[in-house]
Structures are given as C-alpha cells and as structure tokens.
Amino acid sequence: MSLEFILFIVFAAICAVSSVLMITRSNPIISALFLILNFAALSGLYLLLHAQFIAVAQVIVYAGAIMVLFLFVIMLLRPEKEKLLAINPRLKILAYVVAFIVFVQLVYIIFMSSTTDSGSMDASIKAGTIETIGMELFSKYILPVEAAGFLLLAATIGALVLAKKKFE
Amino acid sequence: MSVLEIIVFTVVKIVLILTVMLLMVSYLVYFERRVSAWVQNRLGPNRVGWEGVLQPFADVFKLLLKEDIVPVKANQFIHTLAPVIALFVAFATYAVIPIASPLKIFGYEIPLVVADVNIGVLYVLALTSVGVYAITLAGWSSGSKYSLFGGIRSSAQMISYEISMGFSVAGVLLFAESLRPIAIVQSQGSWMWNAWIQPIGFITFVVSAFAETNRLPFDLPEAEPELVGGYHTEYSSMKFAAFFLAEYANMIIAAGMIVTLYLGGYNLPFFNIESLGLANWLTVIIQIGSFFIKMGVLLFFFLWIRWSLPRFRYDQLMSIGWKVMFPLSLINLIWVAVLIMVFNL
C-alpha cells in the first residue's frame, strides 16, 4: 500500500462519515460543522489528485467564506427556539425517490467513465495547478470570467440598494 | 531522497518549528508586558528569575493549575473545539514560511521550510479564513451574550480585512510570478524589497494583518469596556491560555509573512551574502539571524502600536476596511501591473 492510497482511504472515510452525520444531526450548528469537515476532507482528496489550487480554493471559498455565512445565519436565527417542522410522510417518500435517482446517476457515472485512458494522465495531473487554471481562465475562457464578474458586480449593487432602503 | 528520509526530515522540522514557536510565543507575551510597562513608565514583571525571564513559565503553570469552568448554557463539545481550532490554525500556518536558504549537511540539501508547496501564499490565506471559526464558535458556544457579540464582530472584521489582504498579496504575486514563499523571497533579492516597490500594498497588508490578528487598534472582538472579554469571556484555565497563545502565535505569523512578502525574507538588506563565498552553514546562520531580527523589529512595532493608539469604533473599523483599505489595495494592484507593463520587470 502506498502512502497516497492510505491517505485516500482516510480522506474518503472522513468525507463519507461526515456527510452522513451532517444530514442526521438535529442541531443545525453541528450539521454545519460536519459540512465544513467534509469540505476539508474533500480538499485533501483534491490534493491527492495534484489539484493544489482547487484544493485551496475549496477551503478558502467554501469552508472559509460560504460556511461562515451559513454559521452566521444559523446563529442569528437561533433555530433551537423554532418548532421543528412536522415531517410530511409524502415528502419523505419523495426524498427517498430523489436520493435513489441521484445514487443511480452517481453509480452510472463511476462505472461508465473510462478509467483506462492513461495517455492523458500527465495532462490531467497538470489540470488542477494554478498555472494551468490561470492560463485557461484568462485566455480561453476570458469571456465567461468577465461575464461572471459583471454579474457578481450587478448582484453586489443590488444587495446594496436593498440594504440601503431600510435605513430611510 | 527516499520517502522515509523526507518523512524523518519533515518530522524533525515540525518538532523544531513547534518548539521554537512555543518559546517565541511565551517570550512574546513577556516582551509585551515589559514593553507596555516601559511605555507606561512602570517596571513590569521582573521578579521571577533574572529581570523576570522565567515569568512565562510561571504564567503557564498558574493557568494549568486553574479550574476549567464550562458554563451551564454552553455547548460542551464546541466550547472545547474552538480553542483547538485556534491553536491548530496558528501553528499550522508556520509550515510554509522559509527562514533561510537550503542547508547542505551530510550530503543532503534540506530546505529550511517545513513544506515548500507551490501554493504557499494561498495556503496561509486559506488557514486564516478557517481561523474565523475558532472565534465564531467560541463566541456562540459559550452561551453568553458578550461572547456572541465578540464572536460576530470578529468574524465580520476578519472577513472584511481578508479581502484587502488578498488584494495586497496579489501585487506581490504579480512581481514574483509565483505563489511559493521561497520564490517570492528570491524575487526580491537583497534590496528590491516589495515594501519599496509597492508601499501602498505594504501599508494595506500591515493594517489588514493588525485587523486579522485582532490587535489594537482593531481589537474590537475583545473590547474590554463593552464586551467584558469578548469571545473568550467564558473561558478559563488552559482553554483561555490556548486562545491567548493563538493570538500571539498569529502575531508571529503575521510578522513572518510581512518579512517574507515585503521585507526581503531571510536576505540581508542591501548586501548579497552569497557573494562573500562563506561556508554554507555560516550563510544559513546569518540568514536565520536576519530573518528573526526583521521579525523582532516588526513584533516590537506591533506592541508599540498597541500601547500608543486608542481603539477604533466599530463603524469606523468597517468603513476603514471597506472604504479605505480595499480601494487602496486595488490601486496598489493597478500600480504594480502598470510598473510591470512599463518597465518589463
């Protein structure tokens, strides 16, 4: 067993266990913490795939920014004081169906994807490094990047306008 | 080097860095108390050992022997987890800061940094953003209003200043064309420090570093007059000490990052040590000395500021972050880009 394999097993196990714990905890703060743990383990998996930039971006964006926002909202809304929603049995059946469909999709993708394509291994190893991503983003995909930036700017201005009205 | 050798060297380096960091942190606390005494024309701790040099150990023993109290309303698990996160983040960040050029010994060439990763700077930013959790969770889990206020203030503050910090770093990265701290140090040579080339970025980075480490004039999270003790109001014994140590460890890291990114890292100022042709070990020792002296000066600056300036009001803090520091760091980025375009640096 190589070191990489052992690390993969460890990270994958943390990922799986934390995601199960995340959806089964009743305290939303604990759920959010398990989601953060899940993100951390996921970024470990990215590191094993030599995608250092994606790994760090995962931590900075998801664990560092988005989840902090989540935690804030949960803390300020104080959900422990709210009544728990009575679970509708029909919704439960729907949830099982959706979960099953997603599971089948994942299994299909895993078994149908070609794993024998070793010729592009070098290219795929470099795909997650910051140099490759930077070059691709600012040459080939410059238009989508700029468009996304513009959309985000518009959203920020929208948020400002919404927030400002309250003070008047 | 074989895998086993790499693991052995890394473990040795981790142990060394941890020991040095812990010693530095405890003596930084002592240093702070002496400097504050000097600023206020007092004596400061001078009883334990010669001139009080054993004071840090006395403090640690005192804290260890105190009773560990967890409030009834607190969430026990998260209350314990928060200081652990704080310490982990503080000590893990140090892994990517280089303290000298590679040491050649017994036929090996050992880089004097625990992990020479090509995303080093981003690694530091990522860990800083995780550090927010320690404070937020500590504030929330204590089940006290003061703690919660402290935690929320501090998260908002850290998230706001992370942005101007990131943009200031972007200027450095443009010059170095790399995210590896060692490459950034080498790109500055002995005198072309980033602090000279991009002074605005230097200032915004230093100010953001003050805010990120929750130091005065930005220590709103633990503003004593309004919040008792801020996010660690309900902490006692070693858990309190963990937050205390983490704060000082963060200061050391901030100083180390400023030295690496803006002040030429371990190189001697205005003088190329490698041109002397000294033995490798001598060069390394001089470089380590130069790194720690630069860091020491910066740390003194941190303390000096703390005991000279009053605290900002919270709205002032936010407007400085968003309306002054953020635009300034953007201007710095444009300035660096123009410099590179015009002079082909």
Tell me if B34 sits within 8 A of B205, measured CB to CB: no
pLDDT(B110) > 70? yes
pLDDT of residue B62: 86
**Contact assessment for residue B66 and residue B236, using Cβ atoms and an 8 Å cutoff:** yes
**What is the spatial distance between Cα B301 and Cα B42, in angstroms, rounded to a whole number?**
19
A9 band by pLDDT with thresholds 50, 70 and 90: very high
List A residues 21-80 in contact with B (Cβ-Cβ < 8 A).
Answer: 29-30, 33, 36, 52-53, 56-57, 59-60, 63-65, 68, 71-72, 75-76
Enumerate long-range contacts of B100-107, CB under 8 Å, 24 or more apart. Answer: B100/B266, B100/B283, B100/B284, B100/B285, B100/B287, B100/B288, B100/B291, B101/B266, B101/B274, B101/B283, B101/B284, B101/B287, B103/B280, B103/B281, B103/B284, B104/B280, B105/B281
pLDDT value at residue B107: 67
Quick one: average pLDDT of A86-90? 71
Angle between helices B3-39 and B55-65 (to 10 degrees): 100
Pick B114 or B301 by higher pLDDT.
B301
Confidence (pLDDT) at B78: 85
Position A125 confidence tier, pLDDT thresholds 50, 70, 90: low
| In-domain check, residue B14 | no
- pLDDT of B1 reads 61
The pLDDT assigned to A150 comes to 94
Backbone angles phi, psi at B110, to 5 degrees: -105, 115
> What is the total residue count of chain B?
345
Least confident among A107-111, B25-29, B70-74: B70-74
From the list B118, B80, B273, the residue with the least C-alpha distance to A47 is B118
pLDDT of residue B224: 66
Q: How close, in Å, is residue B71 to chain A by CA atoms?
A: 18
Averaged pLDDT score across all residues of chain B: 84
Average pLDDT on B131-135 reads 86
Express each pLDDT in B21-69 by its tens digit.
888 888 888 888 888 888 888 888 888 878 888 888 888 888 888 888 8
Q: Which residue of A has its CA nearest to B7?
A: A3
Q: Can you tell me the ipTM of this complex?
A: 0.80
**Inter-chain residue contact B129 with A59, CB threshold 8 Å:** yes
Mean pLDDT of all residues in B68-90:
85
| B3 lies in some domain | no
A7 reaches B (C-beta below 8 A): no
Contact A68 B132 (CB under 8 A): yes
Q: Does residue B153 carry a pLDDT above 90?
A: no
Residue A151: pLDDT over 90: yes
pLDDT at A121 over 60: no
In B, what residues contact A, Cβ < 8 A?
Answer: 3, 75, 78, 81, 117-119, 122-123, 125-127, 129-130, 132-133, 136-137, 140, 148, 152, 155, 159, 179
pLDDT of residue B61: 85
pLDDT greater at residue B275 or residue A154: A154
User: Into how many domains does chain B fold?
Assistant: 1
- Average pLDDT of span A15-39: 88
Within-domain flag for B35: no
Question: A64: which chain B residues are within 8 Å (Cβ-Cβ)?
Answer: 126, 129-130, 132
Host domain of residue B232 = 68-343
Which pLDDT belongs to residue A16? 92
Residue B232: per-residue pLDDT: 78
Model confidence band, residue A81 (pLDDT cutoffs 50, 70, 90): low
- The answer to whether B231 and B239 have CB atoms below 8 angstroms apart is no
Name the residue among B140, B287, B163, B338 with its Cα closest to residue A73: B140
Supply the pLDDT for residue B159: 81
pLDDT(A79) > 70? no
pLDDT at B14: 86
CA distance readout (Å), B96 to A7, B13, B27, B91, B314: 21, 12, 22, 11, 33
> Among residues 103-162 of chain A, which lie with CB inside 8 Å of chain B?
129-130
pLDDT at A10 over 90: yes
B345 has pLDDT over 70? no
Specify the pLDDT at position A104: 93
Local confidence band at A167 (pLDDT 50, 70, 90 cut-offs)? low
Residue B214 lies in a domain: yes
Task: Identify the band that residue B265 occupies on the pLDDT scale cut at 50, 70 and 90.
Answer: confident
Residue B221 confidence (pLDDT): 66
**For A112-116, B192-196, B312-316, which range has the lowest pLDDT when averaged over its residues?**
A112-116
- pLDDT band (50, 70, 90) for residue A155: very high
Q: What percent of chain B has pLDDT over 90?
A: 6
Which band of pLDDT confidence, cut at 50, 70 and 90, is reported for residue B225? Answer: low
Q: Which two tokens stand for residue B60?
A: 């640690």
| Interchain proximity B133–A71, CB inside 8 Å | yes
Whether A117 has a pLDDT exceeding 60, the answer reads no
pLDDT in tens, A43-76: 999 888 888 888 888 888 888 888 888 888 887 7
**Structural domain contains residue B159:** yes
Round to the nearest angstrom and report the end-to-end CA distance of chain A.
66
Q: Where are the domains of chain A?
A: 1-83, 129-168
- The alpha-carbon radius of gyration of chain B (Å, integer) is 21
Per-residue model confidence (pLDDT) at position B328: 92
B-chain residues near A39 (CB < 8 A): none
Domain A1-83 - what CATH class?
Answer: mainly alpha
Q: How confident is the model at residue A97 (pLDDT cuts 50, 70, 90)?
A: very high
Q: Which residue has the tokens 């994942």?
A: A106
Question: Of A53, A56, A75, which is closest to B140 when you measure between CB atoms?
Answer: A75
